[in-house]
Each structure stands twice: as C-alpha cells, then as structure tokens.
C-alpha cells in the first residue's frame, strides 16, 4: 500500500462553517495561497451553490492556485454540481466533491429516502460530475452511523460510477478511535473495487477524538486526511491539520508514512487563519497554542536548557515558531516594503500599496520593530476586509482613577461623518457605547479578548469581539499598539460584519446548510 498520506484541507469550507468565521473572497484567497505554500495536496475552497459570495470566492481561488487541487463541494443535485463545476473549472487541478447522507437516521428523518434511492442518487451525481471532470470525490455523510455493509455497497457503486476518492466522514464526531479504525478496515476489505479509489477520512471533534480517529483511519489504510487549520469547523471543529501532520512527523519511526507538508509553514498558517477568521487559538492547543512549547516547571526548564529533548518531542522551529522574522522598520523604503509584501504572497495595485505604506509608516513610528505578523494584520485590516459601512475616523478617550471614562468618536457611515461622546464603566466600554449610539446598533457584545501579536513591550494588541444581533453572530478584529484603539477598531469591524451578514442573508443560511 502507498505510504503517502494526502492532506486535504477544508479550512475554507468546513472551517468556515465555524460560527462567525465567514471570510470574504480576498481573505479566502490569502488563506488559500498560504495553504499552497504549506504544501496541502488539495484545498476545499467552498460550497458554491450555497451563496453568490461563496461561488465568487471559490472561483477566485480556482483561478489563482496552481499546485494544489482546488475542490468545490456540492450536494447530489445537478444544479449544485453545475455550480461547483462553474466555480472550479478554470483551476489547474479541479475536483468536484459531492455528498449525500447514508445513515438510517438521516435517510428517515432528513432525506425521506430508502437505501436503494440513496445509492441511485449518489451514482447519478458521480456520473454527472464525472462527465465534467475526471477528478470526483464522493462523501457518505454520517458514515460512522451507517450500516457497514450498506456503506460498502454505496462505495462500490460510486467507485464503479467513477469516483476517484471516497470519503468516510464522522460527521457528528461520534466514533471511538478503535471503532473508527475497524470501520475503515472493514470498508477496505469489503468493497471489492476499493483499490480503484483513494479512501479518505473526515472527522469532527465533538468528543475531542477527531485527531485520534483520523490517525486510526490512516493506520487502517485511509490515505487522504481531511483537516482544517487550528481544527476550526462546524460545532467543536474538525481534525486539526497541525496535529495530524506533526504526529506523522514526530512518530515517523512507528507510522512510517510520508506527506507533502512543509512543517515550518504550520505556525505562520495557523496565525494567518486565526487572524482572518477571528477565531482565537486556545493557549494549550497542541502544536500551535501559545503554551505548546512553554515550560513552566523549574525542573522542566532545567532539563530543556540542558537538552531540549528531555521535555520536547518536537522543536518549535520545526513548525515555524520562534522564527518571528524581524522585517522592516521605520527607515525602510517603499521598495523594501513592496518586496516584503511580495514575499508574504501579496501583489497590490499602486493605490493599495500607497495606502498600506502610509499605514505602515504610522505603525513604524509607534513601534521599534515590525514583524511579518504585524504586516499581515495591516494588510488584513486595510485591504482584505474591505471598507465596509462604518469606519473609525477619530477616537479620544479620557479615563483614570478620578475621571468618568468618556469617549469622543467620529464615525464615517458610508459617506457621512457623524460625531458624538458617551460614557462607560471603563474606557473601552465608553468607546463601544459611543460607537454603538452613532451607528444605531442594537447588537450585544458577547465576547471580548485581547492578545499580543508579536513580542516585546510595545507589541500590538489584537482584539477580538463577538457581536450578536437577531440571531446573527459576527466577529470583529482590530489591532493597534494602543489596546483601546484596537478595541474600537475591532468593534467597528464587527459592526461591518454584522451589516454584511444582514445584506447577504445567504451567508447565515450557508453556515447551517451542510
Ligand atoms: O462532516 C461531513 O460529513 C461533511 C461532508 C460534507 C464531507 O463535511
Ligand atoms: Zn464535515
């Protein structure tokens, strides 16, 4: 059996189904480019039939990505498959991924179909997709709660119809590792034509078992792993790419499997995905969490100083951590700035570059050292997130032990500038209250968090807010060396996201449609 594991990244599709994590086309493209640099074999860019916005994002990614396969998801309906194909057909390596549920629970309560009808629908979908492209993946949704022999019948039929990859998802995160491994082995042994397709696994993390299940599936012979950066995804998330890849890397002695991932791009990719989606990585997250390589106990510190191997099974440099590259500073010119952005994968028009350079100079005046991560924040804020309905023009906050915290704000709403002042229990509360009043927002602040972007006392503060209004949840992010300004920016960014969701209701719909 082949010993190469194919890494299929679905950060831009299943990952984007994390509540509030929607990305616009420019943001998706930025993540896609980084995923390509990371070395993923395939990247699922979205679900084109779900919304016009998603269609455009997938199309944009398909046009620009050269090495990795670009995958579009579709239900079995012909209209969905057509839409998926329209979105990816210009890709260097396109793939259509079609799916239907196969468990009795879904057949009875969701699809209202019998088993034979499901097989027929799956076969017709695969045949239809196969007439468009040779590269077709089929997923049996809720496979882990599907009767094993029926699953084998489905896989046999879709492989005969032309599927080149068959995927076994643990859609609801229900399986146990040993059980999942046994199911994969069973399906391999009892699907007569399985050797004609790649067997894939796709796990959700509802019981915290996604990585263990994926590895059990690989151990049992699956050769494609469907994963997301930082494990983001529907509900408790999907299998995390970094955990699977670093297990293959660290335990190569035992697993004897290879993959195409450039491990040193793991941490930069994790940071970028977190920045763009607004989903903060928990500090104790394996491989990419802030504490993943921090040694607190004196006995551990002593050991690591003597020899890192005493308490470290992998080196932070291996995953690209601790390589915070100092890039440019106050005295750098436009040329160096442009060059650095090109290195990060950006190619901007002159006007965007001018706008960014001005912001960079302003930041460089405040900070001594500028890192790659600071530049990423600058780009995401100034360009990728677009202008939106609201823009913060001016903020002045008075606070202290005796003053009542007061904020004065000028807010641009489309083309009109409005201004006002307001109070709060603290300076951030005062700023938020004033902005909300000026924007006429009834949203509720349900989460607020601050992180330091790069090292040092003058590090930029990165603020994430989560705003809720009429059942819609939007994330906002902002960064600045001054955390009150960063907070106000994050709040305005969250309001822009909410506004965007109101104007594009299909976005909210999409998040619950698969
Ligand atoms: O979890 C799932 O079943 C999915 C399929 C669409 C592959 O995401
Ligand atoms: Zn999924």
Element (H, E) at 30: helix 25-38
Q: What's the pLDDT band for 48 if we cut at 50, 70, 90?
A: very high
Report the mean per-residue pLDDT for the chain: 90
For residue 145, is pLDDT > 80? Answer: yes
Q: What's the pLDDT band for 512 if we cut at 50, 70, 90?
A: very low
Dist CA 435 CA 414 (whole Å): 14
Q: Quick one: pLDDT at residue 305?
A: 81
pLDDT digits 0-9 by tens, 167-215: 999 999 999 999 999 999 999 999 999 999 999 999 999 999 999 999 9
Q: Give the residue whose CA is nearest to atom 2 of ligand 1.
A: 171
- 455 in Cβ contact with 367 (< 8 Å): no
* Ligand index nearest the alpha carbon of residue 231: 2
CA 13 – ligand 2 centroid, Å: 9
Give the mean model confidence (pLDDT) for residues 220-233: 98
Q: Which of 49, 75, 139 to mutate to test the pocket of ligand 1 (most atoms within 8 A of CB)?
A: 139
Q: Quick one: pLDDT at residue 250?
A: 97
Residue with tokens 């990719």: 269
Q: SS3 for 479? A: strand
Q: Quick one: pLDDT at residue 456?
A: 65
424: CB partners within 8 A, 6+ apart: 405, 407, 430, 431, 432, 433
For residue 229, is pLDDT > 70? Answer: yes
Q: Quick one: pLDDT at residue 457?
A: 64
Q: Quick one: pLDDT at residue 480?
A: 86
**Percentage of the chain exceeding pLDDT 70:** 94
Q: Give the residue whose CA is nearest to atom 5 of ligand 1.
A: 141
pLDDT, greater one: 320 or 127: 127
CA 494 – ligand 1 centroid, Å: 28
Q: In the structure, which protein residues have their CB atom closer than 6 angstroms to any atom of ligand 1?
A: 14, 99, 139, 141, 167, 169, 171, 202, 204, 514
Q: How far is CA 409 from CA 32, 43, 335, 395, 460, in A?
A: 37, 42, 35, 5, 22
Q: Give the nearest ligand 1 atom to 139 CA.
A: 7
Q: Quick one: pLDDT at residue 317?
A: 92
Tally of CA atoms within 13 A in the half-sphere of 277 that contains its CB: 29
CA 141 – ligand 2 centroid, Å: 8
Give domain 390-506's CATH superfamily.
Alpha-isopropylmalate synthase LeuA, regulatory domain (3.30.160.270)
Give the start-end residues of each E strand in 240-339: 326-328
Q: Quick one: pLDDT at residue 476?
A: 84
Flag the least confident range among 22-31, 246-255, 291-300.
291-300
* Ligand index nearest the alpha carbon of residue 514: 1
Q: Quick one: pLDDT at residue 172?
A: 98
For residue 325, is pLDDT > 90? Answer: no
Q: How far is CA 432 from CA 122, 442, 486, in A?
A: 51, 12, 12
Q: Quick one: pLDDT at residue 509?
A: 37
- 387 in Cβ contact with 414 (< 8 Å): no
Flag the least confident range among 122-126, 163-167, 275-279, 326-330.
326-330
pLDDT winner (highest mean) among 191-195, 397-401, 462-466: 191-195
Q: Quick one: pLDDT at residue 508?
A: 42
For residue 482, is pLDDT > 60? Answer: yes
Dist CA 476 CA 400 (whole Å): 26
Q: Which fold has domain 6-277?
A: TIM Barrel (3.20.20)
CA 236 – ligand 1 centroid, Å: 14
CA 166 – ligand 2 centroid, Å: 14
Q: Give the residue whose CA is nearest to atom 7 of ligand 1.
A: 139
**Percentage of the chain exceeding pLDDT 90:** 65
């Amino acid at each position: 059996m082949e010993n190469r594991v194919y890494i299929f990244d679905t950060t831009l599709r299943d990952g984007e189904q994390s509540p509030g994590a929607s990305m616009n086309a420019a943001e998706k493209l930025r993540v896609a480019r980084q995923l390509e640099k990371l070395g993923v074999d395939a990247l699922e860019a979205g679900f084109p039939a779900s919304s016009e916005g998603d269609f455009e994002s997938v199309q944009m990614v398909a046009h620009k990505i050269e090495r990795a396969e670009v995958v579009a998801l579709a239900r079995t309906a012909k209209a969905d498959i057509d839409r998926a194909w329209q979105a990816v057909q210009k890709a260097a390596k396109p793939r259509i991924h079609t799916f239907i549920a196969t468990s009795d629970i879904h057949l009875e309560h969701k699809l209202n179909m019998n088993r034979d009808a499901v097989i027929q629908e799956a076969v017709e979908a695969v045949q239809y997709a196969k007439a468009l492209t040779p590269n077709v993946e089929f997923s049996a949704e809720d496979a882990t709660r599907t009767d094993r022999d029926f699953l084998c019948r489905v896989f046999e039929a879709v492989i005969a119809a032309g599927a080149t990859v068959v995927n076994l998802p643990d859609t609801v995160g229900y399986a146990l590792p040993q059980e999942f491994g046994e199911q994969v082995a069973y399906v391999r042994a009892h699907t007569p034509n399985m050797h004609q397709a790649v067997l894939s696994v796709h796990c959700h993390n509802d019981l915290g078992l996604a990585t263990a299940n994926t590895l059990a599936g690989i151990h049992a012979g699956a050769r494609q792993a469907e994963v997301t950066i930082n494990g983001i995804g529907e509900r408790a998330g999907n299998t995390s790419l970094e955990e699977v890849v670093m297990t293959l890397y660290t335990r190569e002695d035992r697993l004897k499997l290879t993959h195409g991932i450039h491990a040193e791009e793991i941490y930069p990719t994790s940071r970028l995905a977190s920045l763009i989606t607004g989903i903060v990585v928990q500090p104790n997250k394996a491989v990419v969490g802030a504490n993943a390589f921090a040694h607190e106990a004196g006995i551990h510190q002593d050991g690591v100083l003597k020899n890192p191997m005493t308490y470290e099974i992998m080196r932070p440099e291996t995953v690209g951590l601790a390589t915070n590259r100092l890039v440019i500073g106050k005295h750098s010119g436009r040329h160096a700035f442009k060059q650095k952005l090109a290195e990060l994968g950006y190619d901007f028009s002159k006007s965007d570059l001018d706008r960014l350079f001005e912001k960079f100079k302003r930041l460089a005046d405040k900070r001594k050292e500028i890192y790659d991560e600071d530049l990423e924040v600058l780009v995401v804020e100034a360009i990728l997130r677009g202008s939106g309905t609201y823009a913060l023009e001016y903020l002045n906050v008075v606070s202290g032990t005796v003053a009542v915290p007061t904020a004065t704000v000028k807010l641009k709403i489309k083309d009109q500038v409005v201004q006002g002042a307001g109070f709060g229990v603290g300076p951030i509360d005062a700023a938020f209250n004033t902005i909300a009043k000026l924007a006429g927002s009834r949203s509720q602040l349900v989460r607020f968090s601050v992180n330091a972007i790069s090292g040092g006392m003058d590090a930029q503060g990165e603020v994430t807010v989560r705003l809720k209004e009429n059942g819609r949840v939007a994330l906002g992010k902002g960064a600045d060396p001054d955390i009150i300004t960063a907070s106000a920016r994050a709040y305005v960014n969250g309001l822009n996201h909410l506004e965007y969701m109101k104007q594009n209701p299909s976005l909210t719909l999409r998040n619950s449609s698969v």
